Structure 1
Amino acid sequence: MRSCQWLAAVTRSLQLACVLLLQVSVWAADAELADLERISTADTMYMMPMRDGVRLATDIYRPKDADGKVPVIFIKTPYDFNEIRGASLQWAYQAVSRGYAVAIQNERGRYYSEGEWELLGDPRTDGYDALTWLEKQPWSNGNVGTVGCSSSAEWQLALAAQDHPAHKAMIPMASGAGIGRVGEFQEQGNWYKGGVHQTLFSVWLYGVQQTTYPRFPAGLSQEQLQRLRTMYDLAPDMPEVNWKKQLAKLPAIDWLDDAGGNTGPFRELMARTPADKAWFEGGLYHDNEDFGVPAFWWNSWFDVSQGPNLALYNHVRSNASDKAVRDGQYLLVAPTLHCGFYRIPEHEDLVAGELNVGNASFPVYEQMFTFFDHYLKGNDGRELSRLPRVQFYTMGRNEWESSETWPPRAVQTQTFYLASDGAANSLFGDGRLDRQPAAGAAMDRYTYDPMNPVPALGGGVCCNRGAADGGSFDQRGIEARADVLVYSSEPLSADLQVTGHIRSTLYVSSSARDTDFTVKLVDVHPDGTAYNVDDTIFRARYREGFDKPKLMENGEVYELILSPMSTSYQFKKGHRVRVEVASSKFPQYMRNLNTGGNNYDETEGVEALNTVWHSAGYPSRIELPVLP
Structure 2
Amino acid sequence: MKLVALVLAGTALVSTLGVSAQTLPNGIPAKFAPVTATFDYDRREVDVKMRDGVALHMILIVPKGAHDAPILFERTPYNADNATSKQDSAHAVMLVGPAFAEMLRAGYILAVEDVRGKYGSKGEYVNERPLIGPLNGSKVDHSTDAFDTIDWLTKHVPESNGRVGIVGTSYDGMMAAMALVHPHPALKAAAPMNPVINTWMGDDDFHGGAFRMAGYDYYFSQDTKRGSGDNLWRDAYDDYDTFLRAGSASGFVKSRGLDQIQVVKDLHDHPDYDAYWQAQALETILPREKATVPTLWIGSLWDQEDMYGAAAAYEATAKNDPDHLEHLAIGPWSHGGWAGTGDSLGPIRFQSDTGTWFRQHVLIPFLDSHLKTGAAPADIAPVTVFQTGSDVWQRLPTWPSACAQGCAQASRKLYLQAGGALSFTAPTTDGADEYVSDPAKPIPYRLRPIRPTYATGSTWRQWLVDDQRPFSDRTDVLTYETEPLTTPLALAGAPIADLVAATTGTDGDFVVKLIDVYPDEYFEKPDLGGYQLPIAMDILRGRYRESFSTPKPITSGAPLGYRFALPNVNHVFLPGHRIMVQIQSSWFPLYDRNPQTFVPNIFDAKPGDYRKATIRVFHAPAQASAIELPVVATGAAQ
CA distance in 2, matches of 1:560, 1:283: 24
Distance 1:58 1:36, change over 3 A: farther
CA distance in 2, matches of 1:617, 1:481: 28
SS at match of 2:622: coil
Return the index of the structure with the highest Cα Rg. 2
Say whether 1:157 aligns with 2:171. Answer: no
**Do the aligned residues in 1 keep the contact of 2:222 with 2:228 (CA within 8 Å)?**
no
CA distance in 1, matches of 2:413, 2:127: 41
**Aligned position for 2:365:** 370
Say whether 1:99 aligns with 2:107. Answer: yes
Say whether 1:246 aligns with 2:242. Answer: yes
CA distance in 2, matches of 1:150, 1:85: 21
SS at match of 1:371: helix
Distance 1:308 1:508, change over 3 A: farther
**Aligned position for 1:30:** none
| Larger CA deviation: 359-368 vs 470-479 | 359-368
**Do the aligned residues in 1 keep the contact of 2:217 with 2:232 (CA within 8 Å)?**
no
**Aligned position for 2:328:** 331
CA distance in 2, matches of 1:142, 1:274: 44
Say whether 1:272 aligns with 2:265. Answer: no
Q: Which amino acid aligns with 1:456?
A: Y
1:620 shift after superposition = 0.9
Deviations 1:156-178 (A, max 9, x none): 22221223322211111111x23
**Do the aligned residues in 2 keep the contact of 1:179 with 1:286 (CA within 8 Å)?**
no
Q: Which amino acid aligns with 1:317?
A: A
Q: Which amino acid aligns with 1:62?
A: V
**Do the aligned residues in 2 keep the contact of 1:70 with 1:141 (CA within 8 Å)?**
yes
CA distance in 2, matches of 1:190, 1:344: 24
- Please give the residue correspondences for 1:409-558 in structure 2 after superposition, counting only pairs within 5 Å: 409-410=406-407, 411-420=409-418, 430-457=419-446, 465=455, 466=458, 468=460, 469-527=462-520, 528-558=530-560
**Do the aligned residues in 2 keep the contact of 1:353 with 1:471 (CA within 8 Å)?**
no
Deviations 1:300-340 (A, max 9, x none): 111043344223212212224xx33xx12222211111111
SS at match of 2:624: coil
Superposition TM-score, scaled by structure 1 size: 0.80
**Aligned position for 1:116:** 124
1:439 shift after superposition = 2.4
CA distance in 1, matches of 2:483, 2:443: 26
* Match 1:190 to one of 204, 223, 226: 204
Distance 1:626 1:610, change over 3 A: same
**Do the aligned residues in 2 keep the contact of 1:448 with 1:610 (CA within 8 Å)?**
yes
Distance 1:114 1:587, change over 3 A: same
**Do the aligned residues in 1 keep the contact of 2:116 with 2:122 (CA within 8 Å)?**
yes
CA distance in 1, matches of 2:36, 2:431: 67
Distance 1:259 1:493, change over 3 A: same
**Do the aligned residues in 2 keep the contact of 1:450 with 1:592 (CA within 8 Å)?**
yes
**Aligned position for 2:252:** 255
Percent identity over the alignment is 27
**Do the aligned residues in 1 keep the contact of 2:302 with 2:464 (CA within 8 Å)?**
yes
1:549 shift after superposition = 1.6
1:239 shift after superposition = 5.0
SS at match of 2:220: helix
SS at match of 1:600: helix
* Match 2:614 to one of 587, 609, 613: 609
**Aligned position for 1:22:** none
CA distance in 2, matches of 1:477, 1:607: 22
CA distance in 1, matches of 2:37, 2:436: 59
Distance 1:135 1:250, change over 3 A: farther
Deviations 1:463-514 (A, max 9, x none): 6653855232221211111110011111111122222221110111111111
1:559 shift after superposition = 1.0
**Aligned position for 1:356:** 349
Q: What are the ranges of 5 or more consecutive residues in structure 2 without an aligned counterpart?
A: 1-34, 87-94, 130-140, 521-529, 634-638
* Match 1:204 to one of 194, 199, 218: 218
CA distance in 2, matches of 1:36, 1:201: 46
| Larger CA deviation: 357-366 vs 71-80 | 357-366
- Please give the residue correspondences for 1:56-205 in structure 2 after superposition, counting only pairs within 5 Å: 56-67=56-67, 69-83=68-82, 84=84, 88-90=96-98, 92-120=100-128, 122-137=141-156, 139=158, 140-175=160-195, 177-179=196-198, 186-187=201-202, 189-205=203-219
Deviations 1:129-182 (A, max 9, x none): 22222233352433211111112111222221223322211111111x23368x
Q: Which amino acid aligns with 2:217?
A: V
CA distance in 1, matches of 2:310, 2:414: 26
**Do the aligned residues in 2 keep the contact of 1:302 with 1:471 (CA within 8 Å)?**
yes
Distance 1:238 1:504, change over 3 A: closer
| Larger CA deviation: 354-363 vs 549-558 | 354-363
Deviations 1:270-289 (A, max 9, x none): 33134221224458553563
**Aligned position for 2:288:** 289
CA distance in 2, matches of 1:279, 1:35: 50
CA distance in 2, matches of 1:557, 1:445: 12
CA distance in 2, matches of 1:526, 1:563: 27
CA distance in 1, matches of 2:194, 2:213: 17
Distance 1:130 1:160, change over 3 A: same
1:364 shift after superposition = 4.3
CA distance in 2, matches of 1:270, 1:53: 34
**Do the aligned residues in 1 keep the contact of 2:56 with 2:116 (CA within 8 Å)?**
yes
* Match 1:590 to one of 580, 589, 592: 592
SS at match of 1:450: coil
**Aligned position for 2:41:** 40
Distance 1:238 1:530, change over 3 A: closer
**Aligned position for 2:583:** 581
CA distance in 2, matches of 1:593, 1:437: 33
Q: Which amino acid aligns with 1:603?
A: K
**Do the aligned residues in 2 keep the contact of 1:337 with 1:462 (CA within 8 Å)?**
no
CA distance in 2, matches of 1:575, 1:557: 32
CA distance in 2, matches of 1:100, 1:107: 22
How many pairs are equivalent?
Answer: 545
Distance 1:244 1:289, change over 3 A: farther
Superposition TM-score, scaled by structure 2 size: 0.79
Deviations 1:360-407 (A, max 9, x none): 43434433221112112244444x02x233222222212222222223
SS at match of 1:451: coil
Distance 1:533 1:541, change over 3 A: same
**Do the aligned residues in 2 keep the contact of 1:271 with 1:600 (CA within 8 Å)?**
no
CA distance in 2, matches of 1:206, 1:36: 43
**Do the aligned residues in 2 keep the contact of 1:543 with 1:561 (CA within 8 Å)?**
yes
Distance 1:85 1:505, change over 3 A: farther
1:59 shift after superposition = 0.7
**Do the aligned residues in 2 keep the contact of 1:180 with 1:285 (CA within 8 Å)?**
no
Distance 1:369 1:360, change over 3 A: closer
1:78 shift after superposition = 0.7
Distance 1:96 1:577, change over 3 A: closer
**Do the aligned residues in 2 keep the contact of 1:36 with 1:92 (CA within 8 Å)?**
no
Q: Which amino acid aligns with 2:333?
A: T
1:254 shift after superposition = 4.3
Distance 1:70 1:474, change over 3 A: closer
**Do the aligned residues in 1 keep the contact of 2:161 with 2:373 (CA within 8 Å)?**
no
1:441 shift after superposition = 2.4
* Match 1:570 to one of 545, 569, 572: 572
1:412 shift after superposition = 2.6
